[in-house]
Chain A
């Protein structure tokens, strides 16, 4: 899939101006996320996305940003198969999601690791119990589950908390449990919707650094965030949405 080439542009007047040059960035690698002229119109005639095209390669990390209602969450919902596009093609690891049968959705969702702003941890299960869920769903044997859950918890620095209930953890720790759950089954794609929305700047930076580590092991990482300061500090590719339209696609090297 080829991405459209555009010249550098500016966001329309908005309190959240992107303070760096904007331009469309076309990737040439091994794309695992693809949006090709994707539009989404909700019932009630609300146009959430209009002709959005971009792709994310394996081992690439990209931010999706824009003001509230710009279409960030809709974009992630399309990727998670919670919504279907009105027009265009969404692909995940080479599979077109537009025509996927309901029966196949669980199998495809196992290729995704999802991190939510509110963690969505199961409060009656231990940290270990939460993190092992994707492996249970995948039918992994208990001994292997145990090994991989501990590896994931170690990765996010929470191995010593494995027997704790989520309610005993701080917000930042809960978010890290959510990340461990998202990566434990080694998904091809990691998506996160405002994962640092409830965290202080230092914790937010730590969480983002974790995402960057997964990028380095070949996972495609797509993070929706409106925290421009954080995005700038991460120096990763930025896809900018405005009123449902992709208005800029800034490569990592141009983020200032």
Chain B
């Protein structure tokens, strides 16, 4: 027997077709909730969080330390090589007119920034200033020194350009010998190039290691919360909603690791100030210590946060998709 009942209206469910302002509000609420949940989870396991941040922080600090080292070696090279002119010795017996002619010929070359003609008398005066030489020079009958052209190459010349310039100097009439004391700088530049490449590769590898550390932490976290994720999916949570707290966790871990890496790098900088100051004193203050640039220190935590987000995104998307399908 059928009972006759008044048709009744279904209970009003939560609005599922949302207006735009409601969507924005819901989006904001979801993010605020995910943010607070992620922080709560990190606080709930302080040791695990600390270890993850420490491992990532050290991994990110290493490239910074190498970058700091390379930067300072480069600065040192710049400082020591700043006045390294090429010396062009004229043949003995050449007079001032011949030296000026040779200097004029070389001034026309694009690689040359400046040329100073040093007379034999200038050379003798310089030697006389060197302790212990003055007595020996007084015993000379005549000045044996030749005219010397001190050629300052333009900054930023390649090794090939400098080699071409040296060849041109050797072929200039009246030139006896060319002494390029800047060759060591080219070798240093080449070494710095190798070092820079190595640091870049190292930064890439350690960045990937940091990404894997975050990824693994998030993977373990997701696996330990499989039941919770199942419940959330059953009561209507979308996959992005479930994933969001894990993404925030990745961002926090990355950011904190970035801050730690910067702190370690700054500590390293501070510990190097004393030795470098002593080195500077030995070079009459021409060498100075250079720290990491401010833009790098500021951007490292944000770049690390991005790395954390990426690691969490890659792992959580896969894990949660699997759980939703199961």
Contacts and interface: CB of A to CB of B under 8 A. Distances in A.
A58 to B, nearest CB: 4
A80 B27 contact: no
A234 to B, nearest CB: 15
B9 A111 contact: no
Nearest to A94: B10
B136 interface: no
A134 interface: yes
Contacts of A109: 234-236
Given A138-B14, A138-B26, A57 B7 contact: yes
B160 interface: no
Interface stretch (B47-55, B225-233, B257-265): B225-233
Given A30-B7, A30-B10, A93-B10, A139 B29 contact: yes
B16 interface: yes
B14 A106 contact: no
Given A114-B235, A136-B33, A139-B27, A23 B10 contact: no
A134 B235 contact: yes
Contacts of A114: 234-235
Interface stretch (A38-46, A198-206, A247-255): A247-255
Nearest to B10: A58
Interface stretch (A11-19, A149-157, A212-220): A212-220
A29 B236 contact: no
B1 interface: yes
B235 A29 contact: no
Interface in B146-202: none
B25 interface: yes
A66 interface: no
A172 interface: no
B297 to A, nearest CB: 37
Please name the 5 residue pairs, one residue from A and one from B, whose CB atoms are nearest each other, closest first: A139-B26, A59-B8, A110-B236, A58-B10, A29-B7
22 contacts: A23-B1, A27-B2, A28-B2, A28-B7, A29-B6, A57-B7, A58-B8, A59-B11, A93-B10, A106-B239, A110-B14, A114-B235, A120-B234, A133-B231, A137-B238, A139-B27, A139-B30, A140-B14, A140-B26, A186-B13, A214-B11, A218-B9
Interface of A: 23, 25-30, 32, 57-60, 80, 82, 93, 106-112, 114, 120, 122, 124, 133-142, 181, 185-188, 214, 217-220, 251-254
